[in-house]
Amino acid sequence: MLKPRIGGLIAAALISAYASTALAQETLKVGALLPLTGPAAPIGLEQQQGVQFAVDLANAQGGVNGKPIELVLDDSQGKPDQAVLAFNRMADLDQVPALITAFSSISLAIAPLATRREILVMNPAAQTDKLADASEFLINTIPLVNAESQVMTKYAFEHIGKTASLLYENAAAGIAGRDDFRNHFEALGGKVIAEEPVEFGQTNYRAALLKINASKPDFVYIAITQSHETMADQVGQIEGFPVAVGNTFSRPFFGYPSTEGWYQSAIQSNNPETRTLEAFKAKYGTKGMGFFAREYFNATNIVIEAAKALSAEGKELSGVNLRDTVLKIKTFKSPIAEITFHTSTALRPVEIQQYVKGTRKVIEVATPVAQ
């Protein structure tokens, strides 16, 4: 009776050792659910480049424990219903344990699916406040609108004016921007004298802009996520349009004659080291590495770092383990940013920038107070 028992123990040990080795050598699949077509496609392309570049660099350095990282791309078209379909494809067909998301409405739509399927969702750019507790599997690598608005509103009230009109996108990020700005501004003693909604994908803003201009505010707070070039062109057709302020998503307004003197808050985000930056520029034929490319590059590297830590311990590269490991490591340092997760949402310094003579001039830096 003893021999079978010993044989069984040996077999069990071999199976256990094999399983541990298999887990350690598991291929990491990273999904990227981005707006690759539609009005937000230019932003989606930059995001895709950031994710792809991180995966390519990591694979060139041995991937995860010698196994290559596989990138699975899918197109949300910037639409929540399409995002849900794409999420399910990646979950069912590709079995990704982690994916990178884009846009507030998309991230909110897939959040309950992430909880149900136990897939880690990394958000490097969407900022609606509802993302703070949308899913236990959602991690935000940037401050949300409320935190960024805190800094911008205080600066605007103290240095630009006491009356404001609001122009916002009638979608999750725009509505959150509108509400947070109004709450902070009125708490300081400011007055909102007009507000106009616009729709995602809209291309004619003239009626809304004329109404805002007629309200004669000290400044306009603009919260939109796309079609900035179109709006800037139409602003230039309105004489005396007031100075505007916005958050990180106002970056594309930079560089137009009509936006000279405008302000924006921006999550402090730096370029990678020179060699990495030059490699990115050469690979994609760009003049630099834009905000979205940097942030999606950084967020993808956080997932990869967590996977390497799990692989070193011989643990499964599951969504649960990846999430737990990111929050356990807690602080991730890179030339782009030092990100610390006190909760599932990072707090980072916020800059106030002004568009002056072809440059974004940083005029103040502050860290939001945790709410």
Which CATH number does the domain housing residue 30 bear? 3.40.50.2300
The Cα–Cα gap between 250 and 265 comes to 8
pLDDT at site 26? 74
Q: Is the per-residue pLDDT at 73 higher than 90? A: yes
| 358 Cβ contact list (under 8 Å, min separation 6) | 255
Q: Is 322 helix (H, G, I), strand (E, B) or coil?
A: helix
Give the mean pLDDT of 203-224: 97
Q: Is the per-residue pLDDT at 24 higher than 50? A: no
Calculate what percentage of the chain has a pLDDT beyond 70: 93
H/E element holding 49? helix 41-60
The residue among 153, 172, 180 whose CA lies nearest residue 79 is 172
Calculate what percentage of the chain has a pLDDT beyond 90: 78
Is there a domain that residue 219 lies in? no
pLDDT at site 371? 57
pLDDT at site 348? 87
Is there a domain that residue 265 lies in? no
Give the mean pLDDT of 266-275: 93
The residue among 229, 107, 114 whose CA lies nearest residue 172 is 107
pLDDT at site 287? 95
Provide φ and ψ at 285, rounded to 5°: 65, 35
Is there a domain that residue 278 lies in? yes
> Helix and strand tally (H, E) in the chain?
11, 14
Is there a domain that residue 369 lies in? no
The Cα–Cα gap between 89 and 29 comes to 13
Q: Are 114 and 140 in contact (CB under 8 A)?
A: no
| pLDDT (tens digit per residue) in 281-297 | 999 999 999 999 999 99
Is there a domain that residue 7 lies in? no
When the pLDDT of each residue in the chain is averaged and rounded to a whole number, the result is 91
pLDDT at site 12? 39
Q: Is the per-residue pLDDT at 240 higher than 50? A: yes
Q: Is the per-residue pLDDT at 325 higher than 90? A: yes
Q: Please state the pTM of the whole predicted model.
A: 0.77
Q: Is the per-residue pLDDT at 340 higher than 60? A: yes
pLDDT band, very low/low/confident/very high, at 370 (cuts 50, 70, 90): low
pLDDT at site 53? 98
The number of domains in the chain is 1
Is there a domain that residue 79 lies in? yes
Residue ranges of alpha helices (H) inside 93-190 are 104-117, 145-159, 172-188
The Cα–Cα gap between 270 and 287 comes to 15
The residue among 80, 64, 139 whose CA lies nearest residue 299 is 139
Q: Are 203 and 234 in contact (CB under 8 A)?
A: no
| pLDDT (tens digit per residue) in 307-316 | 999 999 999 9
- Pick the residue with more confidence: 354 or 348? 354
Q: Are 286 and 48 in contact (CB under 8 A)?
A: no
pLDDT at site 201? 82
The Cα–Cα gap between 134 and 140 comes to 11
CA dihedral 116, 118, 123, 127 (to 10 degrees): 30
Is there a domain that residue 330 lies in? yes
Q: Is the per-residue pLDDT at 1 higher than 70? A: no
For the purposes of burial, counting CB atoms within 10 Å of the CB of 293, is it exposed (0-12), middle (13-18) or buried (19 or more)? buried
pLDDT at site 127? 84
Q: Is the per-residue pLDDT at 16 higher than 70? A: no
Domain of 63 in residue numbering reads as: 25-143+271-340
Q: What share of the chain is helix, strand, coil (3-state, %, to 5)?
A: 50, 20, 30
pLDDT at site 4? 39
The Cα–Cα gap between 241 and 243 comes to 7
First CA to last CA distance, the chain: 66
Give the mean pLDDT of 194-210: 95
Task: Using alpha carbons, list the distances in angstroms from residue 271 to 9, 43, 246, 277, 298.
Answer: 54, 18, 22, 7, 11
Is there a domain that residue 231 lies in? no
pLDDT band, very low/low/confident/very high, at 62 (cuts 50, 70, 90): very high
pLDDT band, very low/low/confident/very high, at 87 (cuts 50, 70, 90): very high
The Cα–Cα gap between 234 and 204 comes to 8
